[in-house]
């Protein structure tokens, strides 16, 4: 074991500068254990001080706890000071007065982190407008533009486990920040030597503005109006908030839009930072929708709507007669993000289409089906890098463009431009409307998926990922990508690789900035490979497109077999 003395010195220095008695006590206990030679304590301390929690385009996200590699008041104060510096440097005349909209969810310490953010901003002369949270992330994204704020901060870890928290930052357009803003803020954070030197205003400082219900009211009114068929509201909705903050706002939006109240999963409808019924509160996770499916089947519902804890993602399940009766859990089918995205787009295209200048967009790891649908409708389509920060930047405002609809396969959807970010609430309204409209015709969303397959081919998508362990995990991920880049496979599962797109230098013609992404193209298939941006994982996204032919069931079976074979082949190549 290396000499722990330098580590202990850094830990004691951090402890002396920590403004929070909770994390001071926590860190002091770890230091005391490490001093007497507790190996686990030394390892814990080493991880806590492995580096400063990195500020990037996703802001901050990590486990709550003491030390620079955790989410805590000291790290949040630094981040807020960095944001204040960025605003003052970027727009010294108007930025501080336009201020920052600040909101938070119901996770552990979220309110504390939001209050500390407001205090730091106000002390720096930047107006902090604090929303009456806890509230969904889409409300904060809406508020930035509604208030003409210079920026927005949302304290949330979205669908991460209960031990985590995070910090999303938006620019004045209401979109998540991208380069170079992230680097400017990160540089300002790095320039802060001591947290104790960062000023903090009192909670009653005039530059801390406590907002009333007006912003939420405006969001509810806008969200309730996103549909195309206001007379199509006859639908029975089952709903789970996944222990998050979506329920209260979603209820109001549904009522304002004219829907009946949903049946709610009682165990999951109120905010609970411990997420007692779901260890990983993500609608995509196996088992996460079990209680929702049980309610949907028992209540005779037509659709199950699920939000992640900050309600920016949407999960959907629908009855599937092929699987059994809708009154049993086995008779329900959970839709993929790609299926939900195609269905939302199909409904919007079928009922009014899009105004001039509207652009459809999805990410490079999502299905190519939306692009085919856009082409058939004569609409511009843009493929972006992963993340909604890119989807909302797909249109060119100088050319009079705006986002008509955008989605990513990870259950993120943006209907129209009410919010310049993913919004699970507005997407749920439009999906529920589509279920009601189809029911009036004696049809279901599964019928629409069949129609799309017959016209555009069966588009089947799947994922494979591999976690890399160890302190050098990120470096080893780079080695894996470099190896694949240097020697891409000539064929996979009997399909020749016809082209390889390497986006490490970007693709100016397609408007894609540099990214560590490889795309392997094959006849009727493609595989996108990239390292995760938030954890040490290598991720592969596989898509197969199979002509429907005369028998849709046979075509789907062929696509499923091909998807399984390609997934196995790329996994074997990378492990």
Strand partners, 495: 492
Structural contact between residues 560 and 525, judged by C-beta atoms closer than 8 angstroms: no
155 Cβ neighbours under 8 A, 6+ residues apart: 76, 102, 103, 104, 105, 107, 110, 111, 113, 114, 117, 165, 166, 167, 168
Query: Nearest-5° angle of CA 212, CA 218, CA 220?
Result: 105
Contact 433, 228 (CB under 8 A): yes
Q: How many whole angstroms separate alpha carbon 389 and alpha carbon 404?
A: 15
Strands (E) across 186-313 are located at: 208-210, 237-240, 263-264, 303-307
**How many whole angstroms separate alpha carbon 465 and alpha carbon 541?**
9
CA distances from 229 to 173, 257, 429 (A): 29, 10, 11
Asked if residues 210 and 386 have their Cβ atoms less than 8 Å apart, the reply is no
> Exposure of 465 by Cβ count < 10 A (0-12 exposed, 13-18 middle, 19+ buried)?
middle
The neighbouring-strand residues paired with 305 are 239, 316
Which DSSP symbol is given to 197?
A: G
* Helix orientation angle between 110-123 and 73-90, rounded to the nearest 10 degrees: 40
CA dist 71 and 65 (Å) reads 6
* Helices and strands counted in the chain (H then E): 19, 21
Phi, psi of 255 (to 5 degrees): -65, -45
**Catalytic option among 2, 46, 110, 158:** 158
**Distance of CA 370 to CAs 112, 337, 344, 458, 529, Å?**
41, 12, 10, 12, 20
Backbone angles phi, psi at 474, to 5 degrees: -65, -40
State yes or no: is 196 an active-site residue: no
Q: List C-alpha distances in Å: 345 to 7, 64, 236, 338.
A: 54, 38, 22, 11
What angle, 0 to 180 degrees and rounded to 10, lies between the N-to-C axes of helices 337-350 and 424-440?
Answer: 60
What b-and-e string marks burial along 72-103, b requiring 16 or more CB atoms within 10 Å of the CB? bbbbbbbbbbbbbbbbbeeeeeebbebbbbbb
Residues 564, 570, 574, 575, CA torsion sign: positive
User: With contact defined as beta carbons under 8 Å apart, do 310 and 245 qualify?
Assistant: yes
- Judged by DSSP in three states, 24 sits in helix
β-sheet with 537-546: strand ranges across: 458-467, 537-546, 525-531, 518-522, 495-502, 491-492
Phi–psi pair at 396, nearest 5 degrees: -105, 100
Active site residues: 158
């Amino acid at each position: 074991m290396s000499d722990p003395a330098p580590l202990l010195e850094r830990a004691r220095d951090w402890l002396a500068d920590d403004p929070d008695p909770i994390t001071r006590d926590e860190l002091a206990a770890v230091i005391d254990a490490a001093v007497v030679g507790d190996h686990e304590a030394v390892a814990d301390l080493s991880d806590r001080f492995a580096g400063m929690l990195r500020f990037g385009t996703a802001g901050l996200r990590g486990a709550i706890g003491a030390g620079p590699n955790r989410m805590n008041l000291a790290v949040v104060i630094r981040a807020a000071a960095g944001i204040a510096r960025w605003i003052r440097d970027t727009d010294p005349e108007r930025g501080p007065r336009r201020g920052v909209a600040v909101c938070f969810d119901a996770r552990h310490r979220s309110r504390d982190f939001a209050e500390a953010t407001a205090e730091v901003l106000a002390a720096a002369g930047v107006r902090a407008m604090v929303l009456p949270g806890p509230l969904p992330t889409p409300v904060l994204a809406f508020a930035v533009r509604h208030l003409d704020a210079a920026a927005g901060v949302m304290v949330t870890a979205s669908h991460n486990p209960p031990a985590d928290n995070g910090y999303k930052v938006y620019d004045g357009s209401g979109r998540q920040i991208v380069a170079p803003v992230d680097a400017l803020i990160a540089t300002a954070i790095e320039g802060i030597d001591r947290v104790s030197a960062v000023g903090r205003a009192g909670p009653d400082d005039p530059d801390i503005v406590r907002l009333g219900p007006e912003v939420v009211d405006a969001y509810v009114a806008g969200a309730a109006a996103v549909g195309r068929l206001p007379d199509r509201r006859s639908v029975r909705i089952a709903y789970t908030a996944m222990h998050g903050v979506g329920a209260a706002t979603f209820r109001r939006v549904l009522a304002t839009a004219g829907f009946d109240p949903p049946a709610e999963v009682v165990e999951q409808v109120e905010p609970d930072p411990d997420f007692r019924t779901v260890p990983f509160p993500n609608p995509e996770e196996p088992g996460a929708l079990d209680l929702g499916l049980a309610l949907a089947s028992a209540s005779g519902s037509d659709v199950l709507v699920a939000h992640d804890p900050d309600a920016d993602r949407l999960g959907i399940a629908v009855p599937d007669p092929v699987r059994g009766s809708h009154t049993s859990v086995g008779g329900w089918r959970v839709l993929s993000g790609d299926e939900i995205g195609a269905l939302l787009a199909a409904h919007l295209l079928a009922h009014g289409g899009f105004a001039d200048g509207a652009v459809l967009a999805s990410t490079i790891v999502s299905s190519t089906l939306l692009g085919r649908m856009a082409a058939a409708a004569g609409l511009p389509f843009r493929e972006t890098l992963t993340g909604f920060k890119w989807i909302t930047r797909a249109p060119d405002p100088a050319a009079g463009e705006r986002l008509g609809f955008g989605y990513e396969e990870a259950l993120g959807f943006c209907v129209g431009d009410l919010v310049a970010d993913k919004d699970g609430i507005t997407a749920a309204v439009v999906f529920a409307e589509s279920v009601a409209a189809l029911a009036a015709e004696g049809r279901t969303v599964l019928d629409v998926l069949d129609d799309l397959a017959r016209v555009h081919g069966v588009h089947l998508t799947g994922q494979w990922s591999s976690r890399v362990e160890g302190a050098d995990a990120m470096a080893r991920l780079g080695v894996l990508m470099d190896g694949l880049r240097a020697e891409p496979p000539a064929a996979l599962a009997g399909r020749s690789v016809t082209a390889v797109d390497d986006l490490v230098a970007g693709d100016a013609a397609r408007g894609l900035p540099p990214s560590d992404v490889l795309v392997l193209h094959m006849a009727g298939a493609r595989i996108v490979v990239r390292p995760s941006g938030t954890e040490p994982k290598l991720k592969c996204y596989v898509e197969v497109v199979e002509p429907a032919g005369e028998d849709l069931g046979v075509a789907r079976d062929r696509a499923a077999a091909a998807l399984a074979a390609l997934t196995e082949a790329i996994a074997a190549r990378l492990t």
